[in-house]
């Protein structure tokens, strides 16, 4: 079945440091890829998405590029802030997997802490 693997956390960075959170996937069909973020005490929010190969999703200074050849969707940000401290989830939706629905398959999540 489909699966998502993302780097284990927690990750602790100083403010203005460069962030990379690795994400790779396996899928039966041609999935859409997502990054969701969960801030402390809040619900899951969509951060960015990409629906086809070589698409770049971006939002709030975060970027991720859909790389079909390496089955990856790594999250990057050039300069993190304390307010970016959260748990980040990589996910895919594969409507052609045979299940017939659009449920999200999530990675385990990576907790990011940014210190001043």
Partner 1 sequence: GAGVSQSPSNKVTEKGKDVELRCDPISGHTALYWYRQSLGQGLEFLIYFQGNSAPDKSGLPSDRFSAERTGGSVSTLTIQRTQQEDSAVYLCASSLGSDYSVHEQFFGPGTRLTVL
Interface residue list for partner 1 (CB under 8 A):
32, 36, 42-46, 49, 51, 89, 91, 93, 95, 99-109
- How far is Cα 77 from Cα 21, in angstroms, rounded to an integer? 9
- How far is Cα 40 from Cα 7, in angstroms, rounded to an integer? 20
Query: Quick check: 94 and 2 in contact, CB under 8 A?
Result: yes
Return the number of the residue (41 or 116) whose C-beta is nearest partner 1: 41
CB of 75 to partner 1, least distance (A): 16
Question: 79, 82, 74: which is closest to 110 by C-alpha?
Answer: 74
Return the number of the residue (65 or 109) whose C-beta is nearest partner 1: 109
Return the number of the residue (31 or 80) whose C-beta is nearest partner 1: 31
CB of 112 to partner 1, least distance (A): 16
CB of 33 to partner 1, least distance (A): 13
Dihedral (CA of 11, 14, 15, 16) sign? negative
């Amino acid at each position: 079945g489909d699966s998502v693997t993302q780097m284990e956390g927690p990750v602790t960075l100083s403010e203005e440091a460069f962030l990379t959170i690795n994400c790779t996937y396996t899928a039966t069909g041609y999935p859409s890829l997502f990054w969701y973020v969960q801030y402390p005490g809040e619900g899951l929010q969509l951060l960015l998405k990409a629906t086809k190969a070589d698409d770049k999703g971006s939002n709030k200074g975060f970027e991720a590029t859909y790389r079909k050849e390496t089955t990856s969707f790594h999250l990057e940000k050039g300069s993190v802030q304390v307010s970016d401290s959260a748990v980040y989830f990589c996910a895919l939706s594969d409507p052609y997997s045979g299940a017939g629905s659009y449920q999200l398959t999530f990675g385990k999540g990576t907790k990011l802490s940014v210190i001043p």
